[in-house]
Structure 1
Amino acid sequence: MRRNATHHSKRKKPLTREMLLPLPRATTRLMSLENHLALVAIRSGNGEADHVSCLLKVVYLAWFMLDKPTPDERALLLLAEEVLDRSMTEAAHGGQWRLSDDDYAVIEQVLTFHDRQLDSLPSHRYALAWQRLTRLAIGSGLQSLPMPGLA
């Protein structure tokens, strides 16, 4: 009897109806607006570290929300991470927080991709992605996208 009680306590809680549905549309619209405004601020020459951080957060969340990234998804998100890293490096050396037109297009693609994720994936996937991002940020700092199976 004791064995069954222990085994039962290790089971994951069943997902609620809300967890199986996408996030509320009003919530995803606000999230999307924040992300797109960060990109607009950078493009207009008014970008700051917070804007790049917001965009980097989107890259990581998009990555963590994927079950198994396709080669195209993997390439896009790795390129976006590289683009934002380059922007941070330039700003750290006295430059502006900016992106080239090509880099801007890459980040725009990521934002559109993430918007689709938020609109279609169950909310528990976003919650899990947020937990992973938080653990990674607190535990080791964000250095680069973790390879599949390592994070």
Structure 2
Amino acid sequence: MPTPIAEARSTSLRNHLALVALRQGEGNGDLLAGLLRTVYLTYLVLDGDDTGSMDEIALAERALRGCVDNYSAQHCWQIPEASCASIEAVLRMHDRQLAAVPVHRLEAAGRRLSQILATGDFPQISPVPRR
């Protein structure tokens, strides 16, 4: 069974509001970390054959990591407008996953992400090479 509707809506709202805050320069490290976690969970649940989604996920990760670099240089948690489209696309993917993917798969992805992060590493996301 997929995520209960109320929980899926709450998660979706939290993610989309975090993006709004970061887009407006009103974010913080916790909001950014939540979005980055959502990007990684979306990646870990994604079907490996979905190359277009992989590209969006890689772009979203790059945008969020760029926000960290920006904070280091300018002390402002802000995502440039041009970078928001890929993050929005990944949030929509995650919303669809919450509505359709069985909870046990989402939980397994969460455990896998925790294992990866516990090593001090991040999931290795890279866009699919063009042929």
TM-score by length of 1: 0.78
Residue 63 of structure 2 corresponds to: 83
Structure 1 stretch displaced more, 134-143 or 30-39: 134-143
Q: How far does residue 142 in structure 1 lie from its aligned partner after superposition?
A: 2.1
Q: CA 1:65 to 1:110, structure 2 compared with 1: closer, same or farther past 3 Å?
A: same
Residue 89 of structure 2 corresponds to: 109
Alpha-carbon separation, structure 2, partners of 1:69 and 1:88: 30
Note the aligned Cα RMSD (angstroms): 1.9
Report matched runs for 1:34-73 at 5 Å: 34-73=14-53
Q: Percent identity?
A: 35
Provide the aligned length of Structure 1 versus Structure 2.
128
Q: CA 1:69 to 1:83, structure 2 compared with 1: closer, same or farther past 3 Å?
A: farther
Which amino acid is the alignment partner of residue 59 of structure 1? V
Q: CA 1:76 to 1:24, structure 2 compared with 1: closer, same or farther past 3 Å?
A: same
Alpha-carbon separation, structure 2, partners of 1:133 and 1:143: 7
Q: How far does residue 69 in structure 1 lie from its aligned partner after superposition?
A: 4.2
| 1:93 aligned residue (66, 73, 84) | 73
Q: CA 1:98 to 1:69, structure 2 compared with 1: closer, same or farther past 3 Å?
A: farther
Which amino acid is the alignment partner of residue 82 of structure 1? R
Can you give the 5+ residue segments of structure 2 that lack an aligned partner in the other structure? none
Alpha-carbon separation, structure 2, partners of 1:129 and 1:64: 6
SS class of match (1:98): coil
Larger radius of gyration: 1
Can you give the 5+ residue segments of structure 1 that lack an aligned partner in the other structure? 1-20
Alpha-carbon separation, structure 1, partners of 2:8 and 2:113: 18
Q: How far does residue 129 in structure 1 lie from its aligned partner after superposition?
A: 0.6
Residue deviations 1:22-71, cap 9 Å, x none?
01111111111111111111122211111111110010000011232411
Alpha-carbon separation, structure 1, partners of 2:30 and 2:36: 10
Q: CA 1:27 to 1:143, structure 2 compared with 1: closer, same or farther past 3 Å?
A: closer
Alpha-carbon separation, structure 1, partners of 2:30 and 2:49: 27
